Structures are given as C-alpha cells and as structure tokens.
Amino acid sequence: MATTTAEATKTSSTNVEDKQSQNLRHQEVGHKSLLQSDDLYQYILETSVYPREPESMKELREVTAKHPWNIMTTSADEGQFLNMLIKLVNAKNTMEIGVYTGYSLLATALALPEDGKILAMDVNRENYELGLPIIEKAGVAHKIDFREGPALPVLDQLVADEKNHGTYDFIFVDADKDNYINYHKRLIDLVKVGGVIGYDNTLWNGSVVAPPDAPMRKYVRYYRDFVLELNKALAADPRIEICMLPVGDGITICRRIS
Ligand code: SAM
Ligand code: CA
C-alpha cells in the first residue's frame, strides 16, 4: 500500500525522534539491551519469556535481583534460550564455568534428563549457596557437581585424562573474559564432535564496536580487548562452526566439527 505524504513525514519525524532518544540511551557503552529499543526487549520478556518461566527460575531471578552484583546474572530470555538449546541438542553431560547465584545453572539443570550431569565451577561458593535452596526445591540439585575454585586447573586435570576427551555435549562459559581463549584451548578437546560450547557476553555491552574514546565503565574497557581477541579467534578456528546471537549480552554458539 502506498504511503501518503503526511504519513511519510510523520514516520520520518518519528524515526528522527527515535534515533535521537536511542543515541542518548546508548551514549554510555554498557546499556543493558542490545536491541533497538527497551520497549522491544520488554515485549519479548512479557510475551514469550515470563509467561513460560518455571516458578523456580522466577524465584531465583527475584532473589538474585536483591543481590549487589545482580548485573552478572543471566537474563530471563537468555535462560529460556539455553534451556531450549540444551533440549535441542539432547545434552546429557554438560559443564558450566561461572555460576554466580545459578540462574543459567538452573535453566540447564531443568533442561537435562533425570540422569543428566553438570560440572559447575565458580571461585565463589557463597553466591551459589544463595540459589542452592531454590535449585534443591526444584528437584534438580542431584545433577550438579559444584567445584569451588578457578576453572582452569580443573580443565587441565580433565584434559590430562584422555578418557574425558570428547565427552561433553554442552558447555556454557560465563566467567572471567580474560581467560576465554585459555578455556577454549582445553574445551575443544573435552566437547564431543557435534557438541556445543556457548561463550557468553561476546558483544560485551556493545563495546566491541565502540571507538576507543567512548565513555565506558572501567571493567567494560578492561575486558573489551579480550572479547575482541576471542571473537577473532573463534571466527578463525576451523574445528568449529559458529553463530553469534544478540541474545543477552551476545552469545557465540560453537559446534565442534573436528
Ligand atoms: N552464569 C551466571 C548466572 O547465570 O548467573 C553468571 C556468571 S557471572 C557473569 C561470572 C562468574 O564467574 C562469577 O560468579 C565469578 O565468581 C566467576 N568466576 C570468575 N573468575 C572465575 C574463574 N577463574 N573460575 C571460575 N569462575 C570464575
Ligand atoms: Ca553472562
């Protein structure tokens, strides 16, 4: 249908206003939604995520929201995506690096079959224990093997035993971004061919495309170069197929092919 001149003028002036408000909103790198508008993100949450979110995940999300480091939690839409992905690949043996209060861990545990397993690692046990009663109440704690401490030595131990090679169906990495390349070097041996590794925060608050002088929080600026380096390395790795999705803060899905 043809657009009238009045409609066209209205649309273009609305677009200009939208653009201006977006520019303002996105001036500071670190804005939480990568979508073009907050309303669109809210629409996704209210239409497709919250109505289908399991009660236990809702409870954990609400408990986490009161914690001072709540900015670290996986968003509800990403939790829903992980839960779906794990079911799609029929994952049974999984790993998570970076647990915090356990929102992505619970999304994983709920998606796995009764005899599914998650090797979950975090340097901080206290935050995991904040969410643990909710995970227990959901009846999925038996799937979790939580290890307190840095993930790298655990991975080194696993890699040292050839029996562990190619045994993981799904791995979610959501921890110290300056170690992602080191994790990848080990995880590529541990994930099975056809299995999936998800690297989280690969759009790093949108900072991956920000000019060097853009206003940025200190931690965003610090980890930015590591994320840029990881993204290049994943794109150049012939052992995996990749797909970078603008879900949450960006997640790169890697499927091992050799
Ligand atoms: N996936 C979590 C969720 O859904 O809430 C969020 C994880 S949070 C972004 C990052 C976590 O990585 C923190 O809990 C932090 O303690 C943990 N971490 C940082 N360095 C680590 C390391 N070297 N090994 C294991 N965990 C680490
Ligand atoms: Ca994350």
The two tokens of residue 46 are: 């209210």
Q: Which pLDDT score, from 0 to 100, does residue 14 have?
A: 46
| CATH of region 32-254, choose from 3.40.50.150, 3.10.105.10, 3.20.20.30, 3.30.70.100 | 3.40.50.150
Tokens for 82, please give them: 């992980």
Tell me, using a 6 A CB cutoff, whether residue 251 lines ligand 1: no
User: In this predicted model, what pLDDT tens digit does every residue of 10-65 receive, in sequence order?
Assistant: 444 445 444 454 444 444 444 455 677 888 899 999 999 999 999 999 999 999 99
Q: Please give the number of the atom of ligand 1 that sits closest to the Cα of 175.
A: 12
Judge whether residue 3 has pLDDT over 80.
no
| pLDDT of res. 29 | 47
Taking a C-beta distance cutoff of 8 angstroms, is the pair 196, 254 a contact? yes
Angle (CA) 117 119 125, round 5°:
125
Q: Is the ipTM of this complex over 0.90?
A: yes
pLDDT at 33: 58
CB contact at 8 A, 90 and 48: no
**pTM for this predicted structure:** 0.89
Tokens of 88: 């799609």
Residue 212 burial (C-beta neighbours within 10 Å; 0-12, 13-18, 19+): exposed
pLDDT at 53: 98
pLDDT at 84: 98
Ligand in closest contact with the CA of 172: 1
User: What's residue 212's pLDDT?
Assistant: 82
d(CA 17, CA 11): 10
**Mind listing the pLDDT tens digit for each residue in 123-146?**
999 999 999 999 999 999 999 999
For the chain, report the end-to-end CA distance as a whole number of angstroms: 50
Mean pLDDT of the chain: 90
Ligand 1 center to 142 CA (angstroms): 21
Q: Using the atom order of ligand 1, give the atom closest to the CA of residue 104.
A: 4
User: pLDDT tens digit string along 57-95?
Assistant: 999 999 999 999 999 999 999 999 999 999 999 999 999
